Amino acid sequence: MTDQWLISQAPGPYAEVRLFCFPYAGGSAAVYHKWLTLAPRVLHVTGVELPGRGIRLTERPYLRLPPLIRHLADRIEPLLHRPFAFFGHSMGGLVAYELARALRERGAPRPRHLFVSATAAPGTPRRRRSLHAASDEEVLQEMRDLGGTPRVLLQDKELMAMAVRTLRADYTMLGTYEHRPSDPLDVPMTVFGGTSDEIAPLSHLRGWRTHTAADWQLKVLPGNHFFLHARADEILKTVADSVDPVRSAGAPA
């Protein structure tokens, strides 16, 4: 299934939980393309496509988080008649968290679980300077340093020009984000971290404990900031075990 905001396949007969997946800064729903086939059958993986990337590349990206969250909530709320969970990596983790809070404010159904990956807890001091006012070359260098962009794309000047626009917009959204304190979510939370992640080190992940009144765990995996690519199988197993009581009890997948 494909529409403006959501990209997924038809759910399998055993898919009990819809997993909405939010990309990192500069990324698109294609980040989770392999998850469509890798995911345990209990999960219905749905990639969230934000404006300014992927199939929406020609659209203007958001520069502020609140309007993005409002529009996401409008789009997703009618689909929450069945169990669901959120997964977000880096910027996507913050989007998933704020969306869960927005749904609570609306009195909408809550996620069965919130999965936050390589995302510093709200209120944590930034380790890197904001690049929303940086030059194009500085933004490109940031993409090279992070290591999440394939080299073949980095060498394509036309694609990189569009990528810089999107990444700059995402950095503007992150740089202007202000956390509004409120009661912790009543949603179980799993936080994933990479052993060598210099952008969201483990010390910046533990603060998530204060943002949920439900069960919480920190799961550490080998890798840098983009460990989700190499560790997709492990992440998806943890996700499936966390949202499916039968799997967590040790029954066959």
196-209 pLDDT, tens digit each = 998 899 999 999 99
Q: Tokens in use for 121?
A: 């807890």
d(CA 39, CA 43): 6
pTM of full prediction above 0.95? no
Classify residue 236: in a domain, yes or no. Answer: yes
CATH number at residue 133: 3.40.50.1820
Which tens digits make up the pLDDT trace of 29-42? 999 999 999 999 99
pLDDT of residue 131: 61
Classify residue 1: in a domain, yes or no. Answer: no
Whether 226 shows a pLDDT value over 80: the answer reads yes
d(CA 222, CA 231): 8
Classify residue 108: in a domain, yes or no. Answer: yes
Give the percent of the chain with pLDDT over 70. Answer: 82
User: In terms of residue numbers, what domain contains 63?
Assistant: 6-248
| Alpha helices, H only, 77-175 | 91-106, 136-146, 151-154, 157-175
Check 90, 135, 203, 248 and give the catalytic one.
90
Classify residue 253: in a domain, yes or no. Answer: no
Structural domain count, the chain: 1
Residue whose token pair is 């990189």: 160
pLDDT of residue 2: 46
Which tens digits make up the pLDDT trace of 131-144? 656 666 676 666 66
Q: Is 130 a catalytic residue?
A: no
Considering only CA atoms, which of 171, 135, 137 is closest in space to residue 154?
137
| Per-residue confidence band for 148, with pLDDT thresholds at 50, 70 and 90 | low
